[in-house]
Copies of this chain bind each other. A is one copy, B any other.
C-alpha cells in the first residue's frame, strides 16, 4: 500500500500536541476526567504511546501548568508600581478563569517551573523597582500567596443552593438557628442593590478587595519605612495603626 492510499497518513505525535490536547481535555471536561487512557483515545493512539513524549503523568501535569502560566499576559500599565503589580495579578486571574482546573493542578506541583519563576521574577522586580525593600517584598509575596496566581483559594465554596424553594427556606432557618452570624455575613453583600448576577457573593469584588487591601498595606508599610524586626519577640508584628 502506498503512503498516499494509506488512511490519511496521520501527523506523528509530539510533546506539544500531547500537552495541547491534555489542556483541551481539562478545559472541556475537567481535570478529573483527564487520564492517560482517555488522552490516548483522543489522540487516536494507544495509551503507552504517550510515554514516548512525556515520562509520566506528573510530568504531563507539569507541562500543562507551565503552559497555563505562560498564558498570563499582563497589559502594559502606568509606571506606578502598585498599579503594575495589580495588573499582573489580575492578568493571572483572567487566565485562571479560563482554566478552572488549573489551580488544582498548580497546587500539586512540587517546584516552580521556569515559567512560574519568570512570573515571580516580574512581580518581585516590579515591587522592588517601586522602592520596596527586599525583605518587605519577600513578606508581601508570601502574603499574596495563591492570589499571586489569580486564585483566592476559597476553602469552602458555597455549593449550589437547593433548588426546591421550600428546602432552601428550611436550610435558611437552620442556618439562622445555629449559625446566625454566618448567615448575616453571607446575606450582607446580597442586600446591595447593584449586586453581581446570580446568588452568592461576587468573586471579582472579593478578589480585588483582598488584593487592594494587601497592596495598600504594603505601600503604607513602605512609606512608613518598615524594617524587619528581630524575631526574638516571637513574631514580626506589623504594628498598631
Which residues of chain A have a CB within 8 Å of any CB of chain B? 106-107, 109-112, 114, 116-118, 120-121, 124-125, 128, 133-135, 137-139, 141-143, 145-149, 152-159, 178-182, 184-189, 192, 194-196, 201-202, 204-206, 208-210, 212-214, 216-217, 219-221, 223, 228, 230-232, 235-241
Known: A145-B152, A208-B236, A212-B238. 9 other contacts (CB 8 A): A110-B159, A124-B184, A141-B185, A142-B154, A142-B201, A142-B209, A204-B235, A208-B235, A219-B241
Q: Are A156 and B109 in contact (CB under 8 A)?
A: yes
Q: How many of these chains are in the complex?
A: 2
Task: Label chain A's interface by main secondary structure.
Answer: helix
- The 7 lowest CB-CB distance pairs between A and B, nearest first, are A134-B188, A143-B210, A112-B156, A124-B181, A208-B235, A142-B206, A212-B238
Q: Are A121 and B217 in contact (CB under 8 A)?
A: no
List of B residues within 8 angstroms of A109 by Cβ: 156
Q: Are B235 and A118 in contact (CB under 8 A)?
A: no
List of B residues within 8 angstroms of A217 by Cβ: 213-214, 216-217
Q: Are A107 and B155 in contact (CB under 8 A)?
A: yes
Q: Are A124 and B182 in contact (CB under 8 A)?
A: yes
